[in-house]
Chains A and B, each alone.
Chain A
Amino acid sequence: MIPRVRLICGLLLCAGFASAQTLQEAETLWRNHQDKDAGHIFEQLLKADPKNATYRVRYADLLYQDFNVSDAQKLYEEALMLDPKNAHALLGEAHILADNYNPKAEELANKALEYDPKLYEAHELMARAALEDDDSKKAESEADAALAIQSDAVEAIAVKASIDLLADKQSPWVAKIGNRGKGYQTIAHFFMINRRYEDSIAYLRKAIAATPDLWSAHSELGMNLMRLGREGEARQELQLAYNQPFRDAITANALTLMDSYSKFTTFETPTTALRLNKKEADVLRPYFQDVLNNAIATYQKKYKYTLKTPVQVEVYPDHTDFEVRTQGLPGLGALGVTFDNYIAMDSPSGRTPGEFHWASTLWHEMSHVYVIAMTNDRVPRWFTEGLAVHEETATYPDWGDRLSPEIIAAIRDKKLLPIADIDRGFVHPTYQAQVIVSYFQAGKICDYIVQRWGDQKILDMIHEFAKDRPTVDVIKEQLGIDPAQFDKDFLAMIDKLYGKTVAGFADWTKGVKEINQLMKDGKTDDVIAKGREIEGLYPDYVEAGNVYNAVAEACLKKGDKPCAIEELGRYSKIGGRDPDTMKKYAKLLAESGKPKEAAAALERMNYIFPVDAGLHEQLGGLLLETGDAKGAVREYQALIAMHPIDSAGAHYDLAKAFKAAGQKDQAREEAVTALEAAPNYKPAQKLLLEVSE
């Protein structure tokens, strides 16, 4: 987000005397935060002089500052129709594009400079965009250009200060900001986008100390405090901004979200705090707590590091709340986000069953918590994301994401980036799927490093990155290999792993179409034969319309259960996640006298979609049958937490599980609860008598 108020005093000179007085009035009202009144005057000015591009630009600037971006953009465009060389209108449009990290912003800023070479704000905009793109050289050069025109240009000074501070150097430029809060706010922005939230908070406090009525800084401070779980102060800052009124969507959304926190409950242990929505807390808690504890135990040993503060995990059943929690606005594609030792993530109930592996996401985010703590956040994006992706499957191979068609296309089209540039794939993607492809590539790079150099090398790299060393140097020194050679060797591994899939993708696609037709024609034998022929071409594909399901269906149509079990076993092993398919697989296994395997298949689903009463009921029964009474207790408790239709039956099942676990008192209590709902429920009566003897 860029500072919204830009006073362009030179504009005043452009207008005639009569209207200048009125324009001046509008500007004065604006400066005094009487935006509405200023807006009315701009409307009058435009009515009186509709051909005046300057009025339109200044009015657009006001609207832009007040978050009415669409009307502002329209006015800038209208101004450019009246005066195609209006540098300020071009700059205004550039700011709107820059807010969305749109590379076209630079093009417009350069054009603005063509028409007004003294427009130092255009250089400032490009300096900021360059630093957001991690191009400090260009950022410095643009900041210098702005300062050559305007020696006290605060945005340029702040960019230069940020370059030093991000590199952990003292900066003489900080002092030059003086009492201009916006300068500190810009530094805070760069700390924030580099995930250094504590530093960002410190500079926002400086911004507010220098300019107490810089409401945007209050709002940003509130957001950063919220990210780090300091909700009391966050609310104060956000409310303060909102009341001024600084009512952008982020501030309003964050306050609404904080109001909804009363619907959540937090479970604390010495090392964790788990915040869950009350409506699903009883169902999710055992599973989330278990994965959380397991992740801490695993990473502590693996990374040889003990977290100094408890990690807090917040789970949002409403994806919009999660988005607001993380960035203030809806539209975030992520499933989980880590802010230092705070994790916010989607709940499985917020996603379509089967599309989201929550345990894998939590495992991923927990890796970030450790890496961030171990490096004090001095770690390139590709490495922390790559390591987290690597970890998803390092302990449990069926977790993590599978190879998707867009990744296959990227490999085929040779779009994987050299390791020296891979961060750009995350920060400034140049094609739609590049972020996903970059996650995949970074994960595979970490897989490759572990495979070739071992886990210790990953740990060594973490420690090197903690010294703020660049990727290229770390690769050279730690792996003893030139980055170019690393890329060559890595791509050879990718080819070995996925060459067959990439080469056979077109045949696989054609084969899937053929299978669909064969299914329609009822040619089950042909479906099985074709499916078996092509599934090896792209074994990772387990989404809708996958070959495994088609073959299993064909097997069942023939009445060949072992064939279906074999096929669904492949689907499960490779990471298939569809709850209905997995329940069908478990049922087939149970019917074939394999209750342990059936239970194992269903236990996988607890990590994917545990908000499924049928799953817990089926799994509870299987666990009880196979002698895992403790597991059965857990499953039936989850079932009861979901308020099943058959409440009496669920309590009776739990009573049976308690009895099997040797917990007679609990068994009696559950039997009584079952009978409270259904007094004539004979099996529960019998059990009550048995456990009361």
Chain B
Amino acid sequence: MKCAGFLLLSFCAVTPAFSATYILTVAGLGGEPDYDQRFTMLANDTDKAFRAGGQTDRNVETLKGADATKAKMEASLNRIASQAKAQDAFVLMMIGHGTFDGQEYKFNLPGPDISATELAALLNKIQAGRQLIVDMTSCSGGAAGSLKKDNRIIVTATKSGTEKNATVFARYWVEALRDSAADTDKNETISALEAFQYAERKTAGFYSEQKRLATEHPQIDDQQRAASFALLRFGSAAAAINDPAKKELISKRDEIESKIDALKYNKSLMAPDDYRKQLTQLMLELSKTQAEIDK
């Protein structure tokens, strides 16, 4: 997660203290053993990634195989709706196949499918103030309109409901949760935007390398919110914040970071050499300060 300049500062560090994150992953019907196996594996990997590190502020639930029915999905969403509060965050990840008949999107599940309209009704009951829906199925673009809501970021594997081929986006979304390379600003947090950008590029690379026409074009509807939506944290980023002895140093670091942001914001207005000189100086100051904090 990073701030791209002054304009985005308001979206930084918005995660309130003592908030919880509810994470539901659903791996739908594969239709054939190969897909069933693949979807289950991706769901397992997602589950593992979110449970890693023993963070107690996460409520992780995964539905897969025979358990991934419409009834169980409804039950899980109703349970989250009854527990999640306004300061909480909610993430729904859907892996599998979807269909779109020109009017309505459906997520394929064992037994009856769930439509985007039905899903939206369930999601709207959830009070969590920050919501992220990641629909990684074929035709998922067809669900975006129904699921759209002010406080909700929608990620879909396809641009529209007419991109009907099985998708590879899910593979790379899950990979983003495990690959530190996805943390492009190296702040030990993978934001929803970082995960999306990672998966989007890898998906495009897959089709390009295979010399195949891309049959999926991943979409995200709110990049600014996604940049500040902390999907996964790792490392020890938060530890120093709680040490009063380092308060002054942390203030100093924040001040240098602000100067760096200001400098970067004005980059296009500056002579390149001047910009580089000032940037180097500020980075040295920041590095020294951080080294003091880490002592």
Measured CB to CB, the residues of A under 8 A from B are: 351-353, 644-649, 668, 671-672, 675-682, 684-686, 688-689, 692
- Smallest CB–CB gap between A251 and chain B, Å? 28
Given known contacts A353-B209, A648-B186, A689-B288, A679 and B181 CB-to-CB distance under 8 angstroms? no
Is residue B295 contacting chain A, with contact meaning CB distance below 8 A?
no
Contact between B184 and A682, CB atoms less than 8 A apart: no
Give Cα distance in the complex from A354 to B146, angstroms. Answer: 43
The B interface is mostly helix, strand or loop, or mixed, namely: helix
List, in ascending order, chain B residues with CB within 8 A of A668's CB: 280
> Which of B197, B209, B283, B288 makes the CB contact (< 8 A) with A672?
B283
Chosen A-B contacts, 26 in total, with CB atoms closer than 8 Å, are A351-B211, A352-B209, A352-B211, A645-B181, A645-B197, A645-B201, A646-B182, A646-B183, A648-B184, A648-B185, A668-B280, A672-B280, A677-B185, A678-B185, A679-B286, A680-B186, A680-B290, A681-B185, A682-B186, A682-B294, A685-B283, A685-B290, A685-B291, A688-B287, A689-B287, A689-B288
List, in ascending order, chain B residues with CB within 8 A of A677's CB: 184-185
Is residue B198 contacting chain A, with contact meaning CB distance below 8 A?
yes
List, in ascending order, chain A residues with CB within 8 A of B12's CB: none
Contact between A685 and B286, CB atoms less than 8 A apart: yes
Measured CB to CB, the residues of B under 8 A from A are: 2, 180-187, 197-198, 201-202, 209-211, 257, 260, 264, 276, 279-280, 283-284, 286-288, 290-291, 294
User: In the complex, which residue of chain A has the Cβ closest to the Cβ of B194?
Assistant: A645
Contact between A646 and B283, CB atoms less than 8 A apart: no
- Smallest CB–CB gap between B88 and chain A, Å? 26
Given known contacts A685-B286, A685-B290, A680 and B185 CB-to-CB distance under 8 angstroms? yes
List, in ascending order, chain A residues with CB within 8 A of B210's CB: 352
- Smallest CB–CB gap between B200 and chain A, Å? 10
User: In the complex, which residue of chain A has the Cβ closest to the Cβ of B267?
Assistant: A676
Give Cα distance in the complex from A535 to B2, angstroms. Answer: 53
Q: Count the A-B residue pairs with Cβ separation under 8 angstroms: how many?
A: 75
Given known contacts A352-B211, A685-B291, A689-B287, A679 and B260 CB-to-CB distance under 8 angstroms? yes
Given known contacts A679-B260, A685-B290, A686-B291, A692 and B182 CB-to-CB distance under 8 angstroms? no
Contact between B181 and A649, CB atoms less than 8 A apart: yes
List, in ascending order, chain B residues with CB within 8 A of A684's CB: 186
Give Cα distance in the complex from A136 to B121, angstroms. Answer: 83
Given known contacts A645-B197, A645-B201, A686 and B184 CB-to-CB distance under 8 angstroms? no
Give Cα distance in the complex from A672 to B280, angstroms. Answer: 6
Given known contacts A672-B276, A672-B279, A680-B290, A692 and B186 CB-to-CB distance under 8 angstroms? no
User: In the complex, which residue of chain A has the Cβ closest to the Cβ of B264?
Assistant: A676
- Smallest CB–CB gap between B5 and chain A, Å? 12
User: In the complex, which residue of chain B has the Cβ closest to the Cβ of A319?
Assistant: B211
User: In the complex, which residue of chain A has the Cβ closest to the Cβ of B211?
Assistant: A352
List, in ascending order, chain A residues with CB within 8 A of B284's CB: 688-689, 692
Other A-B pairs, 13, CB within 8 Å; known A675-B287, A679-B283: A645-B201, A646-B182, A648-B185, A649-B181, A672-B280, A672-B283, A678-B184, A678-B186, A680-B186, A682-B290, A684-B186, A688-B284, A689-B291
Closest 8 CB pairs of A and B: A685-B287, A681-B186, A646-B181, A678-B186, A678-B185, A675-B283, A672-B280, A688-B287
- Smallest CB–CB gap between A232 and chain B, Å? 34
List, in ascending order, chain B residues with CB within 8 A of A686's CB: 287, 291
Give Cα distance in the complex from A682 to B2, angstroms. Answer: 15
